[in-house]
Structure 1
Amino acid sequence: MGIIFKQSFKNSLIIYIAFIVGGINTLFFYPRILESEYYGLVAYLLSASNLIMPITALGVHYTIVKFFSSYKTKEEKDRFLSIIIFFPLVIAIPLGYFWDYMHTWIMSKITPENQIIESYTLVIFIVAVSCAYFEVFYAWSKVQLKSVFGNVLKEFWNRAVVMILLSAVFFDFITKPEFIYFLTGAYVIRVFVMMFYAFSLYFPKFTFKLPDNFGEIIRYSLYIILAGSAGAILLDIDKVMIPGKETIEQAAYYSVAVFIGSFIEAPSRAMTQILQPLTSITLNDNDHKEVNSLYKKSSINLLLVGGVFFLLVNCGVHELFKLLPEKGYAGGELVVLMISLAKLYNMFLGNNGAIISNSKFYKISLPFGVGMALSVYYLNKWLFGVYGTDGLALSTLITIFTFNTLKLLFVKSKFNFSPFTDKTVIMLCVIASLFAMFYFWNFSFPSVKIFSFEISPLINLMLKSILILVLYVLLVVKLKVSTQINSLLERFIKIKS
Structure 2
Amino acid sequence: MGIIFKQSFKNTLIIYLGFIIGGINTLVLYTRFLKDEYYGLVTYVLSASNLVMPIIAFGIHFTIIKFFSAYTSKKEQDKFLSSIIFFPLLIAIPIGAFWDIFHNWIMDFVSKSSSEGNLIIESYTIHIYIIAVACAYYEVFYSWAKVQMQSVFGNLLKELYNRVAVMILLFAVYFNFITKQEFIVYLSWAYILRTLLMMIYAFRLYTPKFSFSLPDNFKEVLRYTFYIILAGSAGAIILDIDKVMIPGKDGFETAAYYAVAVFIGSFIEAPSRAMGQILQPLTSKSINEDNVKETQSLYKKSSINLMVIGGLFFVLVNCNVAELFKLLPNDKYAGGMSVVLMISSAKLFLMLLGNNGAILNNSKFYRIILPVNLGMALSVYFLNTYFYNDLGMGTEGLALATLITILIFNSFKLWFVKKKFSMTPFTNKTFLITIIIFIMFLGFYFWDFSVPEFYISKFPLHPIINITLKSVVIFSIYMFLVVKLSISEQINSLVKRYVK
Tell me the TM-score normalised to structure 2 length.
Answer: 0.97
In the comparison of the two structures, how many residue pairs are matched?
A: 494
Between the aligned partners of 2:184 and 2:492, the Cα distance in structure 1 is 45
Q: Which residue of 1 aligns with 2:467?
A: 461
Between the aligned partners of 1:160 and 1:229, the Cα distance in structure 2 is 28
| Distance change in 2, residues 1:227/1:305 (3 Å) | farther
Between the aligned partners of 2:416 and 2:85, the Cα distance in structure 1 is 32
8 Å Cα contact 1:276-1:354 kept in structure 2: yes
Mapping of residues 238-253 of structure 1, within 5 Å = 238-253=242-257
Match of 2:246, SS state, is helix
Report the Cα offset of residue 51 of structure 1. Answer: 0.6
> Which letter maps to 2:37?
E
8 Å Cα contact 1:279-1:291 kept in structure 2: yes
What percentage of residue pairs aligned between the two structures are identical? 65
> Unaligned stretches of 5+ in structure 1?
none
Q: Which residue of 1 aligns with 2:342?
A: 338
> Which letter maps to 1:427?
I
Matched, 1:370 2:400: no
Q: Which residue of 1 aligns with 2:263?
A: 259
Match of 2:250, SS state, is coil
Q: Which residue of 1 aligns with 2:483?
A: 477
8 Å Cα contact 1:62-1:228 kept in structure 2: no
> Which letter maps to 2:90?
V
> Which letter maps to 2:292?
H
8 Å Cα contact 2:276-2:355 kept in structure 1: yes
Report the Cα offset of residue 277 of structure 1. Answer: 0.1
Give the alignment partner of residue 406 of structure 1, picking from 398, 409, 412. Answer: 412
Report the Cα offset of residue 229 of structure 1. Answer: 6.5
CA RMSD of aligned residues (A): 1.0
8 Å Cα contact 1:34-1:176 kept in structure 2: yes
8 Å Cα contact 2:145-2:205 kept in structure 1: yes
Q: Which residue of 2 aligns with 1:201?
A: 205
Q: Which residue of 1 aligns with 2:225?
A: 221
Match of 1:491, SS state, is helix
Give the alignment partner of residue 447 of structure 1, picking from 443, 449, 453. Answer: 453
Between the aligned partners of 1:445 and 1:183, the Cα distance in structure 2 is 39
Mapping of residues 174-323 of structure 1, within 5 Å = 174-228=178-232, 232-323=236-327
Report the Cα offset of residue 491 of structure 1. Answer: 1.6
8 Å Cα contact 2:142-2:198 kept in structure 1: yes
Match of 1:102, SS state, is helix
8 Å Cα contact 1:384-1:391 kept in structure 2: yes
Between the aligned partners of 2:464 and 2:95, the Cα distance in structure 1 is 47
Between the aligned partners of 1:393 and 1:64, the Cα distance in structure 2 is 33
Report the Cα offset of residue 226 of structure 1. Answer: 4.3
Match of 1:245, SS state, is helix
Between the aligned partners of 1:345 and 1:122, the Cα distance in structure 2 is 36
Q: Which residue of 2 aligns with 1:106?
A: 106
Give the alignment partner of residue 161 of structure 1, picking from 159, 165, 181. Answer: 165
Give the alignment partner of residue 400 of structure 2, picking from 376, 394, 403. Answer: 394
Between the aligned partners of 1:319 and 1:229, the Cα distance in structure 2 is 36
8 Å Cα contact 2:235-2:377 kept in structure 1: no
Between the aligned partners of 2:463 and 2:22, the Cα distance in structure 1 is 20
Report the Cα offset of residue 452 of structure 1. Answer: 3.2
Matched, 1:130 2:97: no
Matched, 1:69 2:73: no
Report the Cα offset of residue 235 of structure 1. Answer: 2.9
8 Å Cα contact 2:12-2:271 kept in structure 1: yes
Tell me the TM-score normalised to structure 1 length.
Answer: 0.98
8 Å Cα contact 2:54-2:236 kept in structure 1: no
Between the aligned partners of 2:56 and 2:232, the Cα distance in structure 1 is 13
Deviations 1:392-412 (CA, angstroms, capped at 9, x unpaired): 000000000011100000000
8 Å Cα contact 1:54-1:225 kept in structure 2: yes
Deviations 1:170-198 (CA, angstroms, capped at 9, x unpaired): 10111011111000001111111111110
Between the aligned partners of 1:230 and 1:419, the Cα distance in structure 2 is 25
> Which letter maps to 2:416?
F
8 Å Cα contact 1:69-1:284 kept in structure 2: yes
Q: Which residue of 1 aligns with 2:497?
A: 491
Q: Which residue of 2 aligns with 1:57?
A: 57
Report the Cα offset of residue 330 of structure 1. Answer: 1.3
Moved more, 227-236 or 134-143: 227-236
Moved more, 382-391 or 304-313: 382-391
Report the Cα offset of residue 329 of structure 1. Answer: 1.0
Deviations 1:46-67 (CA, angstroms, capped at 9, x unpaired): 0000011111111100000000
> Which letter maps to 1:273?
Q
> Which letter maps to 1:108?
D
8 Å Cα contact 2:39-2:256 kept in structure 1: yes
Q: Which residue of 2 aligns with 1:348?
A: 352
